[in-house]
């Protein structure tokens, strides 16, 4: 649980702060407590030595106190535990990792940056806590989980987050208040009993047949160092794979190691600039990243030209699927085949506000993972579900938001889809049945505009990330298409 104290700003120091902290009767000191169980304030100001040893300069300074602060150690709080609301020394939450539960250490070193802005107010808490800072007790027992505070940012702020296959649970909780909604989201997003993978002590070490390289490209008049991985024979049919928004080429690692694919195909998957191991261009700090259809198509075509790929097959998912539609409209003759996963020519504004994806007071990676978590099929293996979400937790600041500029704003091709000539380049469209970002209806609507266009394959048991969330099930759909393309190319 969070422990909160009033914060008046790091710039107000000296006697003014002591005045506010020293007279509880006049300044209404705020109690430290959980929900409605805040203690009365008899000892909290008198025992302010505990706050002193947190060493946060916005609240306490050594030269303005009668007692000297120990800057090196947190001090012994053992005698004060019974004065602190809640159990700072005991864990009352779920065990998230297979490791011992922590406890505050005596004479241990304090953690830096203990004061952070509150991101969620639980139902029943004091009305003035919205403006308070968060005190995260150093080494407290509840710090035995991963995931951080993004579960507290009000995932249920919009009932459309759909944090699992049964979004109704979060919806009902959202109507009961933010505290209950956050708890409902926590239960969906962070399951109590995650599947444990079997450990095989006799498993031998091996090296995957994936080679990683960098290619230097000029894109939009600027030099870019683009990372890509490949597997398969050098003379195989080139298959270029495009990752989803805010992610990187790790999503294709299963396809890159599938011998049924790499026997005939040279599989290549790059990290878009600003993603994964591909750095932003020089001077990036002075600009905001925003992807457009023209820039995306230029990247793909320049990459294929630089590697001298002849009539490559391009397969993309999500934003990669959207750009496949764009390539089919404008550059179909350059490719031996186009495969769009979770693809359509347009989607309306999403169930989330883009500004939430890049805020200085929130952990952007965790927010991005929370946003897309419901798009993973409920039948996906637990290992691959979390692997997919981990890719989103690693994204750079503002990158997911910048990709969605293309997906939600710039990438509207509804007026041009009819120009696609399916006879020029084979086009395949596949969409997972659990995808509510690009639904099967969206894909069918797109295909209906194409004369002699493709049939839409609805991938049962799959969501928005088929190649990474359930690679075994995905290959049942993609292998027949790749085999068919072999005969065409």
- At 7 the pLDDT is 41
Calpha distance 452→458 (Å, rounded): 19
16's tokens: 């003014």
Residue whose entry in the numeric block shows the structure tokens 């070490």: 205
What span, in angstroms and rounded, lies between the C-alpha atoms of 102 and 99? 9
Apex CA 262: angle with CA 257 and CA 265, to 5°? 140
Using CA atoms, how far residue 109 sits from 49, 106, 286, in Å, is 15, 9, 37
pLDDT confidence of residue 356: 82
What residue has token string 């995932």?
155
Helices (H), 307-352: 319-330
| Half-sphere exposure of residue 243: CA atoms within 13 angstroms, side-chain side | 30
Q: Which two tokens stand for residue 295?
A: 């820039």
Q: Answer whether 352's CB lies under 8 Å from 371's CB.
A: yes
Task: Return the SS3 of 416.
Answer: coil
Strands ordered across the beta sheet of 3-5: 3-5, 133-135, 115-117
- Residue given tokens 């020394």 in the structure block: 89
- Taking the CA of residue 339 as centre, how many other CA atoms within 13 Å lie in the half-sphere pointing to its CB? 25
Query: What CA–CA distance (Å, rounded) separates 18 from 39?
Result: 22
Q: How many beta carbons lie within 10 A of that of residue 261, not counting itself?
A: 21
Q: Are 398 and 364 in contact (CB under 8 A)?
A: yes
178-189 and 168-176 helices, crossing angle to 10°: 160
Separation of alpha carbons 216 and 272, rounded Å: 12
Closest to 218 measured CA to CA, from 334, 323, 306, 309 = 306
Cut 0.95: pTM above it: no
Find residue 4's DSSP bridge partners. 134
For the chain, domains (ranges, CATH) are 3-144 (no CATH), 146-193 (no CATH), 211-488 (3.40.50.1820)
pLDDT of residue 203: 80
CA distance 9 to 323: 47
The partner residues of 215 in beta bridges, in order of sequence, read 226
pLDDT in tens, the chain (489 residues): 443 433 444 444 444 433 344 444 444 444 444 444 444 444 444 444 444 444 444 444 444 444 444 444 444 444 444 444 444 444 444 443 344 444 444 444 444 333 344 444 344 443 343 343 443 434 434 443 444 444 333 333 333 333 333 334 434 433 444 334 334 433 443 344 334 445 556 789 999 999 999 999 999 999 999 999 999 999 999 999 999 999 999 999 999 999 999 999 999 999 999 999 999 999 999 999 999 999 999 999 999 999 999 999 999 999 999 999 999 999 999 999 999 999 999 987 666 778 888 888 888 899 999 999 999 999 999 999 999 999 999 999 999 999 999 998 899 999 999 999 989 999 999 999 999 999 999 999 999 999 888 989 999 999 999 999 999 999 999 999 999 999 876
Q: Provide the phi-psi class of 124: left if phi over 0, else alpha when psi is between -120 and 50, else beta.
A: left
């Amino acid at each position: 649980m969070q422990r909160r104290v009033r914060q008046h700003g790091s710039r107000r120091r000296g006697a003014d702060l002591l005045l506010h902290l020293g007279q509880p009767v006049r300044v209404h000191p705020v109690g430290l407590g959980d929900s409605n169980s805040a203690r009365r304030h008899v000892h909290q100001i008198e025992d302010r030595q505990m706050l002193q040893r947190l060493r946060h300069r916005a609240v306490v300074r050594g030269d303005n106190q009668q007692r000297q602060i120990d800057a090196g150690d947190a001090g012994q709080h053992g005698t004060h535990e019974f004065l602190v609301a809640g159990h700072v020394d005991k864990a009352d939450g779920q065990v998230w990792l297979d490791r011992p539960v922590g406890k505050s250490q005596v004479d241990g070193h304090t953690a830096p940056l203990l004061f952070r802005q509150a991101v969620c107010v639980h139902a029943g808490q004091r009305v003035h806590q919205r403006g308070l800072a968060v005190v995260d007790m150093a080494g407290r027992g509840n710090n035995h989980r991963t995931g951080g505070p993004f579960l507290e940012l009000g995932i249920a702020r919009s009932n459309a987050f759909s944090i699992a296959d049964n979004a109704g649970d979060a919806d009902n909780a959202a109507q009961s208040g933010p505290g209950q909604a956050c708890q409902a989201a926590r239960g969906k997003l962070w399951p109590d009993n995650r599947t444990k993978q079997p450990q095989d002590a006799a498993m031998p070490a091996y090296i995957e047949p994936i080679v990683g390289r960098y290619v230097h490209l000029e894109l939009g008049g600027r030099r870019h160092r683009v990372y890509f991985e490949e597997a398969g024979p050098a003379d195989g049919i080139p298959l270029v794979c495009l990752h989803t928004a805010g992610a990187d080429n790790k999503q294709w690692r299963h396809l890159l190691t599938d011998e049924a694919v790499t026997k005939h195909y040279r599989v290549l998957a790059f990290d878009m600039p600003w993603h994964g191991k591909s750095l932003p261009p020089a001077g990036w700090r002075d600009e905001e990243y925003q992807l457009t259809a023209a820039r995306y198509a230029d990247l793909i075509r320049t990459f294929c030209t630089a590697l001298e790929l002849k009539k490559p097959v391009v397969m993309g998912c999500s934003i990669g699927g959207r750009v496949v539609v764009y390539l089919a409209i404008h550059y179909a003759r350059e490719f031996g085949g186009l495969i769009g996963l979770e693809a359509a020519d347009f989607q309306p504004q999403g169930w989330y506000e883009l500004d939430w994806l890049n805020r200085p007071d929130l952990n952007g990676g965790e927010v991005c993972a929370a946003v897309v978590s419901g798009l993973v099929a409920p039948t996906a293996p637990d290992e691959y579900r979390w692997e997919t979400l981990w890719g989103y937790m690693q994204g750079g600041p503002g990158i997911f938001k910048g990709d969605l500029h293309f997906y939600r704003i710039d990438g509207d091709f509804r007026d041009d889809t009819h120009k696609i000539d399916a006879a020029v380049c084979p086009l395949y469209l596949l969409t997972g049945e659990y995808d509510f970002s690009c639904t099967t209806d969206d894909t069918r609507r797109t295909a209906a505009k194409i004369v002699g266009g493709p049939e839409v394959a609805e991938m049962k048991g799959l969501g928005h990330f088929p190649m990474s969330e359930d690679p075994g099930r995905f290959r049942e759909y993609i292998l027949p298409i790749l085999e068919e393309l072999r005969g065409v190319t």
